[in-house]
């Protein structure tokens, strides 16, 4: 080995292409395209832990002052929603709960069950987070969250409002990052 070879710095680990910050910078249309190309795990036990979460974009409010304010609030460390905790039970069904930090106290709120089923956005498989669980208020039971993996340990999904006559309205985009576990 020559002195020149020894003096060269060691190559750094490759940077993740996607992160919560990079997802938050994308438009709703770009997030939809990324979600469409995402995948579901072969086994729901892959969703295990307390990934950091981030609200990314609210449909219809992504531009202008309101959109900038919402993105800044979601990025702030004191934003109340910290993410979701996942507890794997089986390969095809599992459970979880949302983590909310209200400065003076942290809460685990709004449990959900998970399973693989077709997305209401495009009919392709997704991880469905089912809030129709005992103890959840009616308005939480009307939420439909979906997830797909869009990068290593990085899951993107729409939050939707289930309509009374079927179907759902898309409200916002969110993501959870298993590579960045929550400290909360």
pLDDT band at 147, cuts 50/70/90? very high
The model scores a pTM over 0.95: no
**Which domains, from first to last, does the chain contain?**
17-181 (2.40.128)
| Whether pLDDT at 15 is above 90 | no
Q: What pLDDT is stored for residue 103 in this prediction?
A: 81
| pLDDT tens digits for range 100-122 | 998 889 999 999 999 999 999 99
Residue found by looking up tokens 């002195």 in the block = 3
At which residue do the structure tokens 């009307």 appear?
142
User: 3 or 156: which carries more pLDDT confidence?
Assistant: 156
Instruction: Please provide the average confidence, as pLDDT, over all residues in the chain.
Output: 87
Give how far Cα 83 sits from Cα of 19, 54, 96, 100, 113, Å: 14, 7, 11, 8, 15
Query: What is the model's pLDDT at position 6?
Result: 43
C-alpha–C-alpha distance, residues 86 and 96, integer Å: 4
**Among 117, 114, 126, 112, CA closest to 157:** 126
* Segment 27-77, tens digit of pLDDT: 899 999 999 999 999 999 999 999 999 999 888 766 677 777 677 777 777
Return the bridge partners of 100, or none.
81, 107
Q: Are 125 and 116 in contact (CB under 8 A)?
A: yes
């Amino acid at each position: 080995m020559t002195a020149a070879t020894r003096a060269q710095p060691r190559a750094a680990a490759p940077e993740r292409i996607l992160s919560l910050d990079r997802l938050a910078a994308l438009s709703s249309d770009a997030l939809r395209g990324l979600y469409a190309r995402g995948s579901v795990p072969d086994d729901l036990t892959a969703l295990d832990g307390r990934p950091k979460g981030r609200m990314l974009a609210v449909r219809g409010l992504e531009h202008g002052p309101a959109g900038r304010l919402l993105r800044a609030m979601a990025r702030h460390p004191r934003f109340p929603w910290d993410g979701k905790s996942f507890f794997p039970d089986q390969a095809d069904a599992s459970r979880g709960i949302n983590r909310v930090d209200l400065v003076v106290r942290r809460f685990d709120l709004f449990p959900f069950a998970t399973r693989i089923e077709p997305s209401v956005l495009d009919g392709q498989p997704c991880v469905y987070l089912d809030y129709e669980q005992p103890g959840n208020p009616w308005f939480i039971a009307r939420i439909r969250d979906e997830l797909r993996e869009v990068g290593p340990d990085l899951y993107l999904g729409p939050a939707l409002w289930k309509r009374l006559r079927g179907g759902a309205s898309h409200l916002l985009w969110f993501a959870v990052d298993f590579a960045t576990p929550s400290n909360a």
